[in-house]
Amino acid sequence: MQCDYFDRGVCRSCTLMGQPYGDQVLDKELRTRELLHDAVEAAGGPGAVEWLPAVTSPESGYRNKAKMVVGGSVQHPTVGILDDRQRGVDLRHCGICTPGIQRALPVLAEFVSTAGLIPYDVRQRRGELKYVLVTESPDAELMVRFVLRSEGQLPRLRDHLDVLRRVLPQAVVVTANLLPEHKAVTEGDREVVLTEQQTLPMRLGPVTMHLRPQSFFQTNTAVATQLYAQASAWIDEVDPASMWDLYCGVGGFALHAARPGRAVTGIETSREAIVSAKQSAREAGLADVRFAADDATAHALRARPAATPELVVVNPPRRGIGAELAGWFEASDVRHVVYSSCNPVTLARDLAAMPSYRLRRARVLDMFPQTGHLEAVTLLSRA
């Protein structure tokens, strides 16, 4: 992939830009194999691991969510990033974003001027509009979120909502997120939904998930579809009567793996995500699937031995599941674990802390082309 922003030195966020794509994927796979091999060896784990071919992605146009800093002025806003002097750098034609987002960003930049929204100046700590967050569904619908410092410009957003819907009819969910603090985070706790529709349907294969404004969703729709399909195939192979999906988000693994007679429980700290997951399960008529807002480790530690499932899916953040949950697995009766990780370093660390399990299968999925990040999914079984 060629990127003018990268070539001009305007943006270097995609650290592997310009490297042949095949080399990127090979390097990620070799790095992951080495880390997991060392972890298995350290734990004394026997047996060969079956490595499936890496799942590749389109090199460009893959990212279904854009987190754009708003800078500049009302008359000449920028949407993109900040430079080292905290000035706005415009990236409205960023090539890794989905085509729908690429078309939407110039429209949104013009809307900032039309609605008179005042970009936030980080250096001066003045202004209101900090970010524009845009997510595109597989059906080309958009969720647009304006991150504001205060409620001061909410009336302007409401007054111009019809204008936005006219120039950007794909925007089926529009919200204002309030972030009053001056700190390095993208969004605040309070969300004001401005449209009647409150969720963005994300249809992946046979499953439709509902994405609420503050819920996590995999950023590469094509690769996420294959991730859920791979995990479901492994789960069906061992055919557990009961399973947990820990760190379940909006329920991706749980909803894809649900089968008649299989008791599935999804656990996630985000209440917004759990509301979405419950809605998806209800609409799909999945009577044997339940979701609850809870901490993954706390849920496991509280569970009675009789309630331990046959299989557990874990999809933790970059820090991994940690020593406490890994220790619970080691002492539990869980027979199989599907571990999906965005950080092979912490994945390897966690596997080393679970020597009773044998790493049976593994696969690298290139969720983040042009960067060093990746997703790896593994199947573990009791040795």
DSSP 123-178: TTTB-SEEEEEEEE-TTS-EEEEEEESSGGGHHHHHHTHHHHHHH-TTEEEEEEEE
> In the predicted model, what is the mean pLDDT of the chain?
96
Q: Summarize the confidence of residues 123-147 as an average pLDDT.
A: 97
Q: Summarize the confidence of residues 317-337 as an average pLDDT.
A: 97
What is the model's pLDDT at position 44? 57
What is the model's pLDDT at position 65? 98
Q: Summarize the confidence of residues 220-248 as an average pLDDT.
A: 98
Residue range 138-191, pLDDT digits in tens: 999 999 999 999 999 999 999 999 999 999 999 999 999 999 999 889 999 999
Does residue 46 carry a pLDDT above 60?
Answer: no
Does residue 219 carry a pLDDT above 90?
Answer: yes
What letter represents residue 67's amino acid?
K
Q: How far apart are CA 139 and CA 201, in angstroms?
A: 8
Q: pLDDT exceeding 90 applies to what percent of the chain?
A: 94
What is the model's pLDDT at position 362? 97
Residue range 107-122, pLDDT digits in tens: 999 999 999 999 999 9
Q: How confident is the model at residue 41 (pLDDT cuts 50, 70, 90)?
A: confident
What is the model's pLDDT at position 319? 97
Q: How far apart are CA 227 and CA 233, in angstroms?
A: 10
Whose CA is closest to 199, among 238, 251, 156? 251
Does residue 45 carry a pLDDT above 90?
Answer: no
Does residue 383 carry a pLDDT above 60?
Answer: yes
Q: Summarize the confidence of residues 38-42 as an average pLDDT.
A: 75
Does residue 290 carry a pLDDT above 80?
Answer: yes
Q: How confident is the model at residue 42 (pLDDT cuts 50, 70, 90)?
A: low
Element (DSSP H or E) covering residue 101: helix 99-115
Residue range 18-30, pLDDT digits in tens: 999 999 999 999 9
Q: pLDDT exceeding 70 applies to what percent of the chain?
A: 98
Close Cβ partners of 305 (under 8 Å, ≥ 6 residues apart)? 333
What is the model's pLDDT at position 183? 87
What is the model's pLDDT at position 211? 96
Q: How far apart are CA 177 and CA 373, in angstroms?
A: 28
Q: Summarize the confidence of residues 210-231 as an average pLDDT.
A: 96
Residues taking part in catalysis: 342
What is the model's pLDDT at position 320? 98
Contact at 8 Å (CB) between 332 and 350? Answer: no
- This prediction's pTM: 0.95
Residue range 61-101, pLDDT digits in tens: 999 999 999 999 999 999 999 999 999 999 999 999 999 99
Token couple for 192: 């004001």
Does residue 57 carry a pLDDT above 70?
Answer: yes
